[in-house]
A and B are shown apart, each in its own frame.
Chain A
């Protein structure tokens, strides 16, 4: 795999290979010294044109855990503010001969364009409302750990699907892994034509009791002023996942950051069914696996078996 630009590009087998790799990194994470030398001497550029906490920090930490040299660039405070085009910024950063460029950009297709401008492997860390493949992979990883398999699992994705790259990537990833997906939200926030993708569409929470997993999306406050919904109050009344609506059998997920009291009630967030903390933890190992697949892929080794040949070895542990 040269680039990770979308979930759309991945087969079930490729998704599973990344998840298997992530499992082996989870083992590394339980050691005292959580670092492997796989990418020693190689450079990873992380380029974020949008605010991000968990995606940027976990990609940065993933690169460091793999011993890569990391250049982290935020659009704010960089020459982007001086009007430099994306193409020129990539040309500039490519002068460092990076092995990988991780990019988050407010517009669809940015990562794909970057892949055409550089010899580095490109990871899409979110492009507009298009895709967020690493989020989908960590969510599948989290669910697979909890459920063993996604085959036949019924997942409801609830909320602002229209503006959500997470919804799009997860919808594809969940379906590709064998789950049955329903998207649910107010009709103004469900994109016209999504019914032709492989999923069910529901304009209310009626029937959500059938779900095995409820995946709530972030509801952004600016949607009110654009008349997508009349008020947060009405949105919450119709679509908030709370302890009354969440069945004890169901699992709850959210990509973060959560608007407590809007799309999720406080009790739901803190309930034992909530996988939100596990999702964040999964983000690190899955992003390590993504960088590994791109930059060291093709080697069939697992990093957990320390000290064998050229396989990644934890630094500081004796073989």
Chain B
């Protein structure tokens, strides 16, 4: 088998931190392999050994000696997913999530790597903070994790962190996510300083002077409900500002959780003029609209940026199609019931998404024919490259990052509980089609669905 894709020279296991374990020796027999970036779309025996995709053999012909064999006829293997936007809530909010539970949730969702945000308590603003988290990941992470540091000290938006030292300590990039960097001067300095320290800067785009008091998208639904609005312009004006600054400083930025149609248009235009900019969209923004908020259910439908109108959702989908949005990111934001069992306006922002992202998008966008399966698979793994990490691929010789899915399996979200410590899934109670059966991350088996039994080599 000759793959078109290049085999990355770096590996997630070297670039990120995870719990060391045994390399899997696995044969996925007669599995349908789809890796659109590598140009692979056929039935093979996938052989995983020594941390690599050792071979894509003709169906039924792989050497299975000493290997765990999975009879996978009718199932699909994709490059495992990569999520550049996860809240592990550690340190400080371990009652919501920690490195262990968050990476278990990631593994259950088919992810082989994630990036953790720095808006913890205290925020990750020091080299010591980064080092402590990396140590935790080496002890307890089911999938490799990278940690971002804050752009400004304590996320206060005023002074830059020691970005060189943070990079040396292993910060994969920088973000004040959760809060915008409101001061354009500070933003500009960070972009200038990037030429010294490197590392992408991921941006939560929101002008708080336009969004304060808001709890949902501003539009006809917020008018009907009497809930303060977060207008689309609170995002798009900041996206426009930062595109202009990045262009001016020849710097590199990553726009997080795009939600408004206007923002997509601005990113598209910036890319066309050569600005070094990448962008992500979240499954809930791709699947839901503010009509859901009429239920006043903060568990599933309160997040920031908010779910917006159908025209915004369509713009995000178009952005996925044309590459304006190169990756899907969950913005997995765990919260405990006491922060959500309160009236909508009082509830915490955020929903979990790691365990359901693929199944939800497969159900809501692929099955109805809105986007192709290949596009979804490509975008689910698109979050690595903006942070200088190798894109997961099934090309032989590459690090083994594989997700095995049953695209016909129906399941009801939450029925069997969650791997995450929190249950504020926007999919709670939904029946989804498509389920992750097994995840191989950096060569190791990170997850198996409990009810999925493995065959034994004959």
Contact = CB atoms under 8 A, between A and B. Distances in A.
Query: Do chains A and B stick together as partners?
Result: yes
Interface of A: 8, 85-87, 105, 107-110, 112-113, 127-131, 164-165, 168, 191-194, 196-197
A194 B227 CA distance: 12
A127 B342 CA distance: 13
Given A85-B341, A87-B341, A193-B218, A107 B223 contact: no
Interface of B: 218-229, 231, 296, 298, 338, 341-346
Contacts of A197: 220, 223-224
Nearest to A117: B341
A113 B343 contact: yes
A197 B226 CA distance: 13
Contacts of B218: 192-193
Contacts of B338: 85
A193 B220 contact: yes
A167 B296 CA distance: 19
Contacts of A194: 220, 223-224
A85 B346 CA distance: 11
Given A192-B231, A197-B220, A165 B342 contact: no
Contacts of B296: 108-109, 112-113
A202 B397 CA distance: 68
B343 A110 contact: yes
B345 A128 contact: yes
A128 B224 contact: no
Contact of B229 (A105, A110, A112, A192): A192
Contacts of B229: 191-192
A107 B228 CA distance: 11
Contacts of A109: 296, 298, 343-345
B342 A108 contact: no
Contacts of A129: 226-228
Contacts of B231: 192
Q: Among B218, B227, B342, B343, which residue has the most Cβ atoms of chain A within 10 A?
A: B343
A109 B216 CA distance: 13
Contacts of A87: 341-342
Q: Among A109, A128, A130, which residue has the most Cβ atoms of chain B within 10 A?
A: A109
A105 B344 CA distance: 12
10 contacts: A87-B342, A107-B342, A108-B296, A108-B343, A108-B344, A109-B343, A113-B296, A128-B345, A165-B226, A197-B224
Contacts of B298: 109
A84 to B, nearest CB: 12
A130 B225 contact: yes
Nearest to A196: B220
Q: Among B225, B227, B228, which residue has the most Cβ atoms of chain A within 10 A?
A: B225
Closest 8 CB pairs of A and B: A129-B226, A109-B296, A193-B220, A107-B343, A196-B220, A191-B223, A193-B223, A130-B226
A260 B251 CA distance: 58
Contacts of B228: 129
A41 to B, nearest CB: 32
Contact of B223 (A105, A113, A196): A196
A107 B345 CA distance: 6
B226 A131 contact: yes
A191 B345 contact: no
A303 B221 CA distance: 40
Contacts of B227: 108, 128-130
A108 B226 contact: yes
A107 B219 CA distance: 18
A191 B222 contact: yes
Contacts of B345: 107-109, 128
Nearest to A86: B342
